[in-house]
Structure 1
């Protein structure tokens, strides 16, 4: 019952803050990054809470690097499969090592993807 009273009180109090269009977009972007509606985001920030993104940017950058590694490894494999003269010296051991590296890189990427979202507290 107390929650209903709190919600009714909030509905009766509105603060109006004039903003420029670019400020509105920045506020909306920050709210999306924190995975919050704009009103909740502004209420939290206005009460002194530190807004946090739900994404760990360092991990996202790491995923981009790993994705590049996978692209390069895939390119090498493609060259070998097309019998390109530059890969004539590639033996079976080299190809097996390449496939193993691709598999371990995929595992690494999946592990980071599971950690990329910061758990909500």
Structure 2
């Protein structure tokens, strides 16, 4: 920022005594949120919930899984509407497709479970 765009305000520095292991934990949490320690602590102190970059990765993973389910559902819909492109689909193919949908749902539930467990364990600290 140059002087013309710099916001003028009196900066206050808060001093908080912490143990070395607490300092390390705060630094790890700041890194997980992809923030500098000062910004992380300021945000937490103002009541903002820290979002981990892991949360974003899980959301992206859930979006990919959702896309997989959409594609699998599209194939099933083609078969159910007797689309000519699915003439070669036999019962074994449909059973395999349904098994794949179920496995993909299980994957999605696993990711959601991990997110909820991670969130719950963070809340207990």
TM-score, length basis structure 1: 0.57
Aligned pairs, number: 81
Task: Look up the match of 2:58.
Answer: 59
How far residue 45 of structure 1 moved from its aligned partner, in angstroms, is: 1.6
Q: Which runs of 5+ in 2 are unaligned?
A: 1-8, 10-32, 34-38
Structure 1's consecutive aligned runs of 4 or more residues displaced over 3 angstroms after TM superposition are none
Q: Which runs of 5+ in 1 are unaligned?
A: 1-16, 18-33, 35-41
Q: Deviations over 1:17-37 (max 9, x none)?
A: 7xxxxxxxxxxxxxxxx9xxx
Determine the C-alpha separation between the residues in 2 that align with 1:84 and 1:58: 37
Whose RCO is larger (CA < 8 A, sep 6+)?
A: 1
TM-score, length basis structure 2: 0.55
